[in-house]
Amino acid sequence: MEPLRTMFAITLRAAVLTAVACALVACETTTGSGAVGVNRSQLMLISAEQLDQMAGQTYNALTAEATKKGQLNTDAAMTARVRAIAARIEPQTKVFRPDAVNWNWQVNVIDSKELNAFCMPGGRIMFYSGLIKQLNLTDDEIAIVMGHEIGHALREHSREQISQQIAAQTGIGVGAALLGLGGAGADLANQGYQSLVATKFSRTDETEADRIGLELAARAGYDPRAGLTLWEKMSAAAKDAPPEFLSTHPADANRAATIRSLLPTVMPLYQAAKPKGVAG
């Protein structure tokens, strides 16, 4: 078969497989829609439990390595600050999915110049000190980043992305690792890092995470208008060298417009929740 026709056949097969899997068993929506209205149906070909196991091993490997290098939670004040913000946001996740409040939430800070942060499946949060220091983030802005990252975890975007790769037959390695065919735990952790941290999210995923993140931050009493200043700072930083964060979370020119359009929905949630004595 000609290469083009082969490619077409593979694409068609993936599309048919996706459609069939969706029609039969594997489609679900991971969250309630919240005030911001996120309810897209998602293809899931691996279980949340499989991915949770991989995420646990990956996160443990990452924190162990940072500890070994003397880079884990070295700045006690910064760690306390990030954990305090997480503690206010975590209870708000029940709006989107009641099970999330019972996740084993973990929040740590790695001392690194990298401008990065993520929340792995199951509530495993990591902030890199470079993001907070170099962008001089306010608590509100940290809350927006955290809400965004938690949004990806609540929507199980990584699980969906791996499922799509399996459907398109490009995720064989991670599929084998998840099924226990990939050998030792180090392989699983390595595959996990590639699949859970280093992978680019789609524009659709980004918009969903923005919407959910804004609502989470607002309900936790953080000013959702910080979404606008955060992404301005991020874009400015990208002019020198693109932050790691932007390579995995592709920026969209419409991001600010999306945030602005949601402010009338989320500002009242913020006004109702913000600590007394805070102006604005």
Size of the site for Zn ion (CB under 5 A): 4
Catalytic residue (choose from 28, 90, 114, 149): 149
Catalytic annotation present for 215: no
Token couple for 32 = 């309630």
- Sheet hosting strand 124-128, strand order edge to edge: 106-110, 124-128, 117-120
Provide, rounded to whole angstroms, the least separation between the CB of residue 5 and Zn ion.
Answer: 36
Distance of alpha carbon 96 from alpha carbon 110, whole angstroms:
28
CA–CA–CA angle 16, 17, 19 (5° rounding): 65
Beta bridge partners of 72: 110
Distance of alpha carbon 133 from alpha carbon 111, whole angstroms:
10
Provide, rounded to whole angstroms, the least separation between the CB of residue 24 and Zn ion.
Answer: 30
- Which stretch in 87-95, 176-184, 198-206, 216-224 sits in contact with Zn ion by CB under 5 A? 198-206
* Residue 123, phi then psi, degrees to nearest 5: 85, 30
249 part of the interface to Zn ion, by CB under 5 A = yes
Q: Do the Cβ atoms of 109 and 160 come closer than 8 Å?
A: no
* Position of minimal CB gap to Zn ion: 249
From the list 51, 25, 264, the residue with the least C-alpha distance to 156 is 51
Binding residue for Zn ion, selected from 44, 46, 209, 220, defined by CB under 5 A: 209
- Which stretch in 36-44, 172-180, 183-191, 242-250 sits in contact with Zn ion by CB under 5 A? 242-250
212 part of the interface to Zn ion, by CB under 5 A = no
From the list 160, 141, 98, the residue with the least C-alpha distance to 237 is 141
- Strand 106-110 to 124-128 pairing: parallel
Provide, rounded to whole angstroms, the least separation between the CB of residue 209 and Zn ion.
Answer: 5
Provide, rounded to whole angstroms, the least separation between the CB of residue 149 and Zn ion.
Answer: 7
- Which stretch in 191-199, 203-211, 226-234, 268-276 sits in contact with Zn ion by CB under 5 A? 203-211
Positions in the binding site for Zn ion (CB under 5 A):
201, 206, 209, 249
User: Which residues are part of the catalytic machinery?
Assistant: 149
